[in-house]
Structure 1
């Protein structure tokens, strides 16, 4: 038996390839399926089943593409209602893979159809459990309000989740291995551990859902407190996963196209088209095309695209470093943004060489900023999350999280404002959005709050707060 965890860092998502005696199963595949096909070829195994733990909201799964490529059935748990042929397993159903078995365990709470897969090894012993978005390491899956169940509240979903964890997972053998669907950074939970594999025994010590530190009512209250609204792309991804989508190869054929500068200049006259600059923070700061939005490939690219660009059908033209065009298109498609028109031929280098207009971001080093702050009262905009700001911030700074920046633009001053995040990535995204909205008087603090902390700013200039809701 072999278990491979395939971890996609940008999505903080884990899929699994399980092989035994010439047969294989895949759990929660991502949209590009080559890894699973190549793995099956290398192990000389046939993919027998494609298991889906639930209808994913934060990414487009590769289940349909993989099924088309292998002629293998897709399997969901109870309550699933996809609009394509598949197997709907009952709670407790077994599926044989070579010399091992996988048992479907219905664990509703994150969604109604959420299920976990309990693996029994060659000797028939409980070996591991694939918990999808039901149980994470150090955390649980938040009620997925992206599906908007009619007549079913988040409180009811949280109650179902408590019962699933305590009645279905907690009684299992302590030594079994937990393989979750996500790790730290995913929007499907609140406070996940950075590790992606653990034992049930250890989770019973460190996970509040398993260690007896709260009863059902306390669990529900804790889970739904400050529950964020899902990004706009979440319900759209659910629809794609339920109804179907194009294979990624088709997306690449129609999107991986070089757009000439002359064509590009015509495109940018259309206000509905987003110019998305995916280069590094430093390159965008030095030069970019007016009204382009920065979301760099070297950060959490796909989730931030989904937060900032509200409609997955938006037409997008990419500005990329040479050789990263396919990567950008692929990562857009992972969250259902399939309407990329192409990329600027030659990128910024060719644009500048041809004498075209560029814009820049005014930036300042942390030491320069702290020197100014020692002598003057200044406007400071902190675009970190509410919890980050509450933990420690500069006294008098205004906190508007990046995801809220456009909705709360009326709160932002047109006077000179120093803007920062934690490390310098989110702040540049925020400035690109504000520039497109017509704001001009911003200075980006390089290296963000981390850089400020390393400067010689007096500790009296900092503050903290327990207020977590704006």
Structure 2
């Protein structure tokens, strides 16, 4: 028996590849399936089952393409109702893979079809669970995402999750290994650890939601406390995972269409396509195509695309560094953004050589910011997460997280100058590009963000409730 966790940092997502005696199972595969096919061939094993823990909201699974390529059936837990052929398992149903068994544990609460898969080894011993979004390391799945489809309140879903954890998971032996679907950075939970593997016993000791004497009421209150609104693309990803989608190969072929500067400009002008520039912020700010949005491929690219663009059907034209075209299209497809019309052949240099119009962002160093800003008079907007802001921030700065820019952008007076920063410059350049695309020009972005600002003599403070409005 062999278990491999295939972890994708950008999505904070774990897929699992399991082999035993010439047969394999894959749990929660990513959208692009060729790496799995290569691995199956290399190991000389046949794929027997594709297990899905639930209808994922934060990424598009590769279950359909993988099943089509291998003939392996897709397995969901009880109550799932996909619009394609699949095995809908019953609670406690056993699936055999080589010399091991995989037992279905229906664990509703995150979603109603959420299922944990218990792996029983060759000796008949409970070895590991693949807990999906039911149990994370340090946290549990948020119960507010499936309210509409389940016709339940988030409180009812949280109560359901409480009983799933107590009756199905916490009853397992302490040495059973826990393999979750996500780690820190995922929006599917709020308090996930950076660790991606644990045990039942360790989680009973360290996971706030698994406290031994915790009441149902306490669980509901604590699990729901502090939840932020889910990214808008979540519902669209659920629909794609449930209904189906175009093959990844088709999406990749469309996106890999190379466009000259003139072709790129013509499509941009004649369609509603959004220009997505995935270069490093340090390059984007100097020169870029007017109205383009910068989300660098080097950061948490796909989640930020989904959070800020929201509509997975949005037509996209992409600008990348040379050789990054396929990676960009692949990572977009993982969160359902399949409508890539093509990429600028040769990258931004092609645009410059064609002597097309360019734009830039006003960026200054943290030292210059410290020397010219007047605290209490100049407006400073901190776009980090609320928790980052609460820990420490520039005195009198406003907390306006990037994730909510579509809500707060209209509160800004375009005539009044302001400074904008994040932690290191990645998120603030995203914000700067969105602001400029929507006509805001009277601002300055700070290179290096708060990490650099903290090294200056500017006054900083712990949490202060900003009751003022922009």
Distance 2:279 2:450 in 1: 22
Instruction: Give the CA RMSD over aligned residues.
Output: 1.7
Distance 2:145 2:199 in 1: 29
* 1:314 maps to 2:300: no
Shift of 1:228: 2.6
Shift of 1:454: 2.1
> Is the Cα contact below 8 Å between 1:57 and 1:146 reproduced in 2?
no
Q: How does 1:123-272 map to 2 (within 5 A)?
A: 123-145=123-145, 148-149=148-149, 151-212=151-212, 214-270=214-270, 272=272
| 3-state SS in 2 of match to 1:209 | helix
Residue number in structure 2 paired with 1:418: 419
Greater shift, 141-150 or 34-43, is seen at: 141-150
> Is the Cα contact below 8 Å between 1:294 and 1:432 reproduced in 2?
yes
Shift of 1:374: 6.0
Residues 405-432 of structure 1: CA deviation (Å, up to 9, x unaligned)? 1222222233221101111111000010
Distance 2:115 2:448 in 1: 42
> Is the Cα contact below 8 Å between 2:302 and 2:334 reproduced in 1?
yes
Residue number in structure 2 paired with 1:400: 400
Residue number in structure 2 paired with 1:464: 463
> Is the Cα contact below 8 Å between 2:48 and 2:73 reproduced in 1?
yes
Distance 1:89 1:310 in 2: 33
Distance 1:467 1:187 in 2: 25
Shift of 1:187: 0.4
Residue number in structure 2 paired with 1:324: 324
Runs of 4 or more above 6 Å deviation: none
Gaps of 5+ in 2: none
Shift of 1:227: 2.5
> Is the Cα contact below 8 Å between 1:108 and 1:160 reproduced in 2?
yes
Residue number in structure 2 paired with 1:110: 110
Residue number in structure 1 paired with 2:334: 334
Q: How does 1:14-33 map to 2 (within 5 A)?
A: 14-33=14-33
| 3-state SS in 1 of match to 2:195 | coil
> Is the Cα contact below 8 Å between 1:390 and 1:467 reproduced in 2?
no
| 3-state SS in 2 of match to 1:145 | coil
TM (norm. structure 1) is 0.96
| Cα distance change on mapping 1:380 and 1:219 into 2, 3 Å | same
* 1:455 maps to 2:456: yes
Greater shift, 412-421 or 74-83, is seen at: 412-421
> Is the Cα contact below 8 Å between 1:391 and 1:465 reproduced in 2?
no
TM (norm. structure 2) is 0.96
Distance 1:213 1:152 in 2: 26
Greater shift, 395-404 or 147-156, is seen at: 147-156
Aligned residues: 467
Shift of 1:373: 3.4
Greater shift, 375-384 or 72-81, is seen at: 375-384
Residues 241-264 of structure 1: CA deviation (Å, up to 9, x unaligned)? 111111111111122111111112
Shift of 1:230: 2.2
| 3-state SS in 2 of match to 1:404 | helix
Greater shift, 372-381 or 70-79, is seen at: 372-381
| 3-state SS in 2 of match to 1:250 | helix
> Is the Cα contact below 8 Å between 1:286 and 1:361 reproduced in 2?
yes
Distance 2:397 2:319 in 1: 33
